[in-house]
Amino acid sequence: MRLSFHGAARSVTGSCHLLEVAGRRILVDCGMIQGSRDLDEENAAEFGFDPHAIDFVVLTHAHLDHCGRLPLLVKRGFRGEIVATAATRNLARLVLLDAAHVQEEDSRRRQRRVWRRGGKGDEEPLYTLLDVFDTLDRFGRKLEYRSPLVLAPGVRVTAFDAGHILGSASVLIEAEAAGAAYQVLFSGDIGNSGRPLLASPSVPEAADIVVMESTYGDRRHRPFAATVEEFYEAITDTFARGGNVIIPTFALERAQELLFVLRQGIEQSRLPPSMMVFLDSPMAIAATEIFRRHPDCYGPSVGELFAKGRDPFGFPGLRFTRETGQSMAINRISGGAIIMAGSGMCTGGRVCHHLRHNLWREEASVIFVGFAASGTLARRIIDGASEVDLFGEPVSVRSRIHTINGFSAHADQQELVDWRGRVGVAGATFLVHGEESAMTALAAKLADSRIEMPRLHEAFPF
């Protein structure tokens, strides 16, 4: 058996791990490398293995940093089977189609720049929509939680609910080869316990080797109840001042969790029953439709709502705005509305228009509920810029800025330690998907067994 690491090695994006066992090559995730700067070259680099030789891809969840290089893998010769849960498959379809669109737009922009400078040569996108369609054709059997699937003779995979986003899984790969038996557990991304929307992360009883994420290996989160309280207060304060609330929103999971929390706020009379809420993001709207199609994937309280025929993501004042014209009409509203729009880090998208119309208003608020990388507009506003550039014009920042961090979809340090503790004795633990500082802090807490922090393309024979 051999384990090698081709992404998210001492960094948080580009997850891609290769397990070679019983004569098969199984890739776990094939994600995009992401960050504030242009990472086209890194994403276009060699994988570190031959895509033709891969037999299976097991996809843990649909975030771009876990599935985003799948079309490139197919473009470069992968002809095997991709297995994932049904919800992951549906969400990955949405995420990959959007990614191809972005890649094609980016390459056209680069091409125009080349031509303007009198240059020649073609600026190729990383992959196109056609590559995504070829990728979708490679999705084969579906994973169901706690139900083993035989990948090949002597190799089986079992998914456990990771509680991170809809359909997310930790995957246990069990194999028999040359008289030896192996159990390798890949955590995927691990969610928080006790969140309203999803079930808490679950784990198998035992594994020999664990490959686990360490994003927040050095941090503790604020309790969820306190986070929701802070969120409600920011909204009611803004409404009392007569302004709008702008929430730069990530389309997957965060948007749906916020809808659920807003709905709950109305139900508990913490928020006005008739308040206007706009989900102004075609991608988030499409994701919400997928969330509604998987009532089996939730924690008990949401499952109960579905069972009663109620919509956990709906309430009377909620409007989905798909068309550009509908989105522009929102700009005429000067107060009393919540506007959720992408992108989450304000690097583009409809949220920039809403910021132009609200950022200068003292009575308005902007609530940041997710990670903001350095160099992004979100980061500049959070760091206290008094003026920002929007569409080539300066806009002064007079609205109230809130940063609410407790909505994270990732386990914090204690939850990661608990998660590993719940898996039976592991021969070795490989830390991935984290910055070095986070990994080192987590390693110190897990000091009871062999800990490895692999480097990019590093391989470990067993």
Residues found near Zn ion in the complex (CB under 5 A): 63, 189
Q: Which is nearer to Zn ion, 189 or 257 (CB)?
A: 189
Q: Are 94 and 87 in contact (CB under 8 A)?
A: no
| Least distance in angstroms from the C-beta of 353 to Zn ion | 28
Name the token pair of 386. Answer: 């008094």
Name the token pair of 208. Answer: 């020999």
Q: Which is nearer to Zn ion, 343 or 399 (CB)?
A: 343
Q: Which is nearer to Zn ion, 168 or 327 (CB)?
A: 168
| Least distance in angstroms from the C-beta of 415 to Zn ion | 15
| Least distance in angstroms from the C-beta of 34 to Zn ion | 11
Q: Are 410 and 421 in contact (CB under 8 A)?
A: no
Q: State whether the Cα torsion 406-303-289-312 is positive or negative.
A: negative
Q: Which is nearer to Zn ion, 271 or 411 (CB)?
A: 411
Q: How many CB atoms lie within 10 A of CB 192?
A: 21
Q: Give the Cα separation of 270 and 226 in Å (integer).
A: 14
| Least distance in angstroms from the C-beta of 65 to Zn ion | 7
Q: Which is nearer to Zn ion, 63 or 263 (CB)?
A: 63
Which amino acid does the sequence have at 371?
F
Q: Give the Cα separation of 110 and 102 in Å (integer).
A: 12
| Least distance in angstroms from the C-beta of 8 to Zn ion | 11
Angle at 20 between CA 17 and CA 26, to 5 degrees: 55
> Count of alpha carbons within 13 Å of 353, Cβ hemisphere only?
18
Based on C-alpha coordinates, what's the Rg of the chain? 22
Q: Which is nearer to Zn ion, 63 or 69 (CB)?
A: 63
Q: Are 217 and 438 in contact (CB under 8 A)?
A: yes
Q: Which is nearer to Zn ion, 5 or 239 (CB)?
A: 5
Which amino acid does the sequence have at 69?
R
| Least distance in angstroms from the C-beta of 162 to Zn ion | 9
| Least distance in angstroms from the C-beta of 159 to Zn ion | 15
